[in-house]
Structures are given as C-alpha cells and as structure tokens.
Structure 1
Amino acid sequence: MEVKYNILVVDDEKDIRDVVEIYLINGGFNVITAEDGIEALEVLKNEKIDLIILDIMMPRLDGVRACMKIRETQQIPIIMLSAKTEDSDKILGLNIGADDYITKPFNPLELVARVNSQIRRTKVFTETNEKDEYSVGALTLNSETREVFVEGKFVRLTPREFDILEVLLINIGRVLSTEQIYERVWKEDFCNSDNTVAVHIRNIREKIEINPKDPKYIKLVWGVGYKIEK
C-alpha cells in the first residue's frame, strides 16, 4: 500500500492554505493546516509530520522564529514561503534551517514538485548508500540514524545540511563541484546563479569545525568545488 506523507501547511492567509491543501491532496498527501507558528508547534506535539510549508510573515509567532524553534528538536524538512524576493531573505531562511524557499505568488504545481523532491530526498536518500557510517578524523556520520558527531558530541544539522555532508563523505577524497553537490542532494537541475550550496556549506562548517575560517574537514578547491580529505 502506498504511504501517504503528512504535510503541515502554516500560513495566516486562509485562501493560500486552502489552495495549497487542495493541490497537495491531489498530489497524494495528507494535509494538516495551522494559522501561525504557535499553532504549528502544537500540531507537531501531537502529529507525525513529514514536511512543513512555513510562511514567514505571520502574527503571534512568525515563520523565522517558528523555524528556529522547530530546529531545536526536529529535523523535519521545511519549505519557507515569503512575499519577499531579496537574496538576503532567502539566505536568512536557509541560515536558520530551512531546506527550500519559494516566493509568493507561486505556482502551486511547483510547490507540490518541491514537496515531492524533499520527500524523496529525505525518505529515499539513505536507502541507496552501501554502508551506514562514515568517519574522518573526529567526525562521524550515521546514515541510518541520520546523526552526526564531532569528538563524540552530537551536532544538530538540518536535513539538507546532513545530505550535503553525507554526499561529501561518500565521495571522500574526491572534489565535487557545486553543480554535482546540488544535483545529488536537491535531485533537480543546477541553477548557475544559485549560491544555495555555498550557504549550506558555510552553515555546516559553523557546526562541525573548530575554526570555520580554517576548516579541517570541508575544503574548498578554488574554481573546482568542495571535498573532504581522507
């Protein structure tokens, strides 16, 4: 029997919630809705949620603060919605732990496609790996439990950050271009103008490196890409 994934749609505009819900249900998903971040956090206490669509501009608890709160305890994929189009807003969303970002007005079919991409990446990604654990130096990543440890201490990564680190560890010693990393993790064609990979790698370094400006693990090979050395 086909598994139906639970999607939490959080937006203070009822019309948007209703449209997104219709398209997601037609796409084969179960949908739960919330009007703001506080209501979303309550839903997460009682329901198993596989992905969150989270608007930024909301009363009581906005999407930025809600995302940060969710990331304190959970690694559920988050797609952020915003009427803002500036790169700084997109980077902010990624920096606080979002996995994707889409601006309003948006094509509901594109949103459903992005939901499908996130679900595939999260649920299928580790099934293609030949082993469960990868280590280099004091860094250890477990694909089965989706946990990362540095010097025995647990490091909390977003799902997207985890997958980027996993791709680099699977290909340890090999330089991967930004395009290769993007297409293997996002499962879609690379956009040359997109700095998303660099933003995520900077975030990973902040979490796993003693000195992010002089990284021990993720090395930049100028003009080529990134690698983790053996």
Structure 2
Amino acid sequence: MNDNVNILIIEDDEDINRLLCHIVSTNGYTPKPAYSGTEALIYIENQKWDMVLLDLMLPGLSGEEILRKVSTESAVPVIIISAKLKTETKIATLKAGADDYITKPFDIEEVSARIEACLRRYRRLSELPVNHQLYHKDLLLDTEAKKAFVKGSELKLTGLEYEILFLLMSSPKKVFTKANVFESVWHEAFHGDDNTINVHMSNIRHKLSKANPDEEYIETIWGMGYRLKT
C-alpha cells in the first residue's frame, strides 16, 4: 500500500468524485474529496499533496484558477479531468502547468494508468543524483533542489518542463526526436501526437527567453528534433 501518497480530488459532481476516490483508493493511495474551488483552496493551503485531480467547471474558484495557483506555487502534478473537449482548452491547461488531460466520460482503467504514469515521473525526479549540477551557458540545473536558474534567478518550471530540460542538458550534444523526448519523459509509446511536445517545449523556451531575452538555449533541428544550442 502507498498510504503516504495523498491525492486531492476536486470535482463538484458527487458521483464522479466518489468514483475517482474509489480509483485512487484501489491503486493504494489516499484520496481527499473537494467539491468546490473554494473548499479545494483551503486544503491546498493547509496540506502537502502528491497529486491533484482537477475538474475545470467548479463552483467558487474555477479549475483554471486552482491550476494557476498550484502550478505557480509548487511542483505538484495536476491531471485535468473535464468534459471540455476543445483542443484549445487542452492546450491552454497544458500551457498553464497541467501534466495531463483526461476527457469525460472517462475509462476507469485509463484514469488509473495515467495516475500511475504521472506519479512514476515525479518519483524519478525525486531520485535524481544528489549534489549534482548541470550547466549550459548561464542556465543552471540543480538536481538536488530540482530547480533551474538563469543568471542566478530561479526559473519556475513544472515537473514535466524540468524533466525535459534535464533530458536535454544530460546529453547536450545529442539531437532528441519528439519520440525520444516523449518516451523518455512520459515513459509511454509515442504515437505521433506533436501537440503535447510542442506545448511543453514552447513553455520552456518562453520561460528561458523571459529570463534572458539575449540568449537562445534550445534549437530545433528541422526534420530531426531538439538539442541545446551552442
């Protein structure tokens, strides 16, 4: 059992919330239901969570507002579970820091598998080498603190963005295809869905550019993939 893994489930529909709690419990984790954005905010501010399952259409604070708060203040993984089907909504939430997006109605086995995959990614982050630092130009990756810095100022990255950057900086001369990146970071087979990679890579580049507009850190090798720019 994994009783020390606490998962906050923010969903206003009681039946769906109960089902998600059951899925989490069946996987051996501890669920905590919240039925509004306002109630969820209280739990977020008063307890440490290992994951958040988040609906977007909530009473009180919206799911987007909750996501913004969680992603800017912590590296807690967030999986969106929503009836909103538009691709634009999915891309917007990924850009805002969500780690995954599941549409309703959902398959129980799929939700279970995605929770497991997401937690595995974050466990790997916690097992990175201690007292190890990677450098590229004025970019520093501290794998003990799991933080990135540009010119000494911290770069606020989501867990997935951190892991992508870690992958690139671990092999600075290697060109990583989109399949390389996806399979190394998500640990799932790549089926050609470019959107997920494009959104996260765009987020990383935007944050790096904002930290230092005069420098370029990642280059696209057309027809091949990505690598660190020398």
Q: TM-score range by the shorter chain?
A: over 0.9
Give the direction of change, closer, same or farther, for the CA distance of 1:128–1:152 in structure 2 (3 Å limit).
closer
Q: Spell out, residue by residue over 1:17-38, the C-alpha distance to the aligned partner (whole angstroms, 9 max, x if none).
A: 1001111101100111111222
| SS of alignment partner, residue 24 of structure 2 | helix
Residue 121 of structure 2 is aligned to residue 139 of structure 1: no
User: Does 1:152 find its partner at 2:152?
Assistant: yes
Counterpart for residue 16 of structure 1: 16
Correspondence 1:83-102 to 2 at 5 A? 83-102=83-102
2:6 maps to a residue whose letter is N
Indicate the residue corresponding to 1:183 in structure 2. Answer: 183
Please list every run of at least 4 consecutive aligned residues from structure 1 whose deviation after the TM superposition is greater than 3 angstroms: 1-4, 128-131, 210-215
TM-score (norm 1): 0.93
Range with bigger deviation, 52-61 or 38-47: 38-47
CA distance in 2, matches of 1:217, 1:142: 17
Contact 2:9–2:53, Cα closer than 8 Å, also in 1: yes
* Deviation of 1:132 (Å): 2.4
Residue 63 in structure 1 maps to residue 63 in structure 2:
yes
**CA-atom RMSD in angstroms:** 2.0
- Separation (CA, whole Å) in 2 of partners of 1:144 and 1:207: 21
CA distance in 1, matches of 2:79, 2:154: 25
- Counterpart of 2:229 in structure 1 is 229
Give CA deviations for 1:75-124 in whole Å, capped at 9, x if unaligned: 10000111122211110110111011110000122111111111111112
Q: Alpha carbons of 1:155 and 1:213: their partners in 2 closer, same or farther (altered >3 Å)?
A: closer
Which segments of 5 or more consecutive residues in structure 1 lack a partner in the other structure?
none
TM-score by length of 2: 0.93
- Preserved CA contact (<8 Å) 1:205 1:212: no
User: Once structures 1 and 2 are overlaid, which stretch shifts more, 52-61 or 207-216?
Assistant: 207-216
Distance apart, 1:133 and its partner CA:
1.3
CA separation of 1:22 and 1:187: change in aligned 2, threshold 3 A: same
Moved more, 207-216 or 128-137: 207-216
CA distance in 1, matches of 2:190, 2:213: 26
Cα distance in 2 for partners of 1:209, 1:150 equals: 10
Offset of residue 128 of structure 1: 5.4
Alignment partners' CA distance in 1, 2:18 and 2:3? 23
Q: Contact 2:155–2:211 at 8 Å: present in 1 too?
A: no
Number of equivalent positions: 230
Corresponding residue of 1:218 = 218
- Tell me the distance in 1 between the aligned counterparts of 2:176 and 2:195: 15
CA drift of 1:50 comes to 0.2
Amino acid at match of 2:55: D
The runs of 5 or more residues in structure 2 that have no matched partner are none
State the shift of 1:72 in Å. Answer: 2.4
- Give, in whole Å, the separation in 2 of the partners of 1:54 and 1:151: 35
Q: Name the aligned partner's letter for residue 94 of structure 2.
A: L
Q: Percent identity of the aligned residues?
A: 35
Q: Post-superposition shift, 1:127?
A: 2.3
